[in-house]
Amino acid sequence: MQNTRYARSGMVCSVDHLASAAGLTMLDRGGSAADAAIATNAVLAVTAPHMCGLGGDLFALVHDGGSGGRAEGSVTALNASGRAGSGADPGRLRAEAHTVMPLRNDIRSAPVPGAVDGWLALHSRYGRLPMATVLAPAIDLAAHGFPVSPLLAPIASALAHHPDFAAVSSPGQLMTRPGVARTLEAIASSGREGFYQGEFGQGLLELGAGEYVPDDLAKPTADWVEPLRVRAFGHDVWSMPPNSQGYLLLLSLGVVDGLDLPPTPDHALWAHLLGEAARIAGHDRLSLLHEHARDLVSETEIARRRAMVDPTARLRVRGLTAEGDTTYLCAVDGDGMGVSLIQSNASGFGSLLVEPRTGINLHNRGIGFSLTPGHPAEYGPGRRPPHTLTPALITRQDGSLRSVVGTMGGDAQPQILLQVITRLLRHGQTPGQAISAPRWRLGTGGTGFDTWDAPDETVMELEEGAGWADGLSALGHPVAGMPYGTGFGHAHLIDVLPDGVLAGAADPRARIGAAIGR
């Protein structure tokens, strides 16, 4: 369970060994970590439609590896999350008695997908190989077949209304996705026009029935933005700015960095302090997070929230405020470039809507919008919803790359990464130890996207093997035991050791994940 893989000059980690292998092939052909990340993600878009795909969104952090012999480098952030269509009408949803965005089977919860724009922007800035080469493994698998994974087989029936999925019944069965193959070929030959103005784009306009207009698909959705950063455990930890919830990870890390942690994560006080940091960071997320939010991780705010932590008892957070599924992958190349990329449908297969010509299922990231009139994250034309996607990247004090890390997990993503990063940086654990160790999460028994609806009612859900239950109960936490791997994310991590050797781990919870290197 504590398997750390080592490599000398390049590594890729993902939830699927077929995808990781495609990424490593790009490195073997002289491609960059960006090429490897795109190739890996493209294969996942074929083999793991229950986690991600061309109908979803994408965020990425990139460390460029420096240049001219410098160890330091720069970190950039890519926001390729889509915007609601021009037909977005919150009043109509409220008139239909909706108080929250529809979770399933409603096109209004599917903003224009941004993943393909993300691939193209990442490739344009950091790619070395032709896009046709990068997408070739995914095209081959989509056109000629891939063995259905044990993760996809039990749930493929959710999209049985499309012929690609109707016959899927067992792991190992050969599955083809001809529409996805055509779409990938169109992207390889014609760029974004082949996707947004091609077969998929035309089908999306028809399926939207007024939710989108052609101009919505003509405007690129990917933006290079300024990443957020916090100093913790002697390192700089980077994540995405809003509309991502990345600030929650950084805020909670900043809080924890100033607390007196016990020497081992096995102690219940460790789980208590990290859990309280997560609750204090996130209790007001619903009122704070929107695409234009700013100044969320200042030193003053970190100190203010850290002062709320009580090491002897669980805090009641009500009144403190004045007022999926997903897949993660990472790659590092021999030149020191690192890519931390996360791509998602939101919840499982997303909206359960499929563009019928291509068989591409659509995300439901629009569930992050508010239907409260006047809320800064209210559903409306051209707006980006609040996102759970939280990639992370860690640099040393000299600016050199230390780690790329991330996870799936809905609202729990910052909580999972808080534990993994603290184990890695504070306690010196190997990637395999930090990734495979039992976790806690703030649970509600709901959708996985409703943690902050009532933060005082959350339960500390503990994975099988965690020894914190009695101690947390004594500190006032309601606790519940959960089977190992049930809803605790698929985290992956590549760590650059001081001598340049790469140490990586794919989450054993993914069952078919792979960290492979060269």
* Residues in the chain, total: 518
Closest CA to 159 of 430, 362, 426, 435: 362
Task: Check: CB of residue 76 under 8 Å from CB of residue 224.
Answer: yes
Q: Which amino acid is at 263?
A: P
Show the beta-strand stretches assigned E in 203-356: 223-225, 228-232, 235-239, 325-332, 338-346, 354-355
Measured in whole angstroms, how far is the alpha carbon of residue 334 from the centre of its chain?
25
Question: Is 447 labeled as catalytic in the residue annotation?
Answer: no
- φ, ψ for residue 502, nearest 5 deg: -95, 130
Annotated catalytic residue within 326, 358, 390, 458: 326
Q: What is the C-alpha R_g of the chain?
A: 21
3-state class (DSSP) for residue 61: strand
Measured distance CA(56)–CA(111) in Å, rounded: 9
Task: Check: CB of residue 368 under 8 Å from CB of residue 84.
Answer: no
Task: Check: CB of residue 447 under 8 Å from CB of residue 104.
Answer: no
Closest CA to 1 of 462, 511, 516, 518: 511
| CA dist list (Å): 349 to 118, 283, 402 | 20, 28, 33
Q: Which residues are catalytic?
A: 326
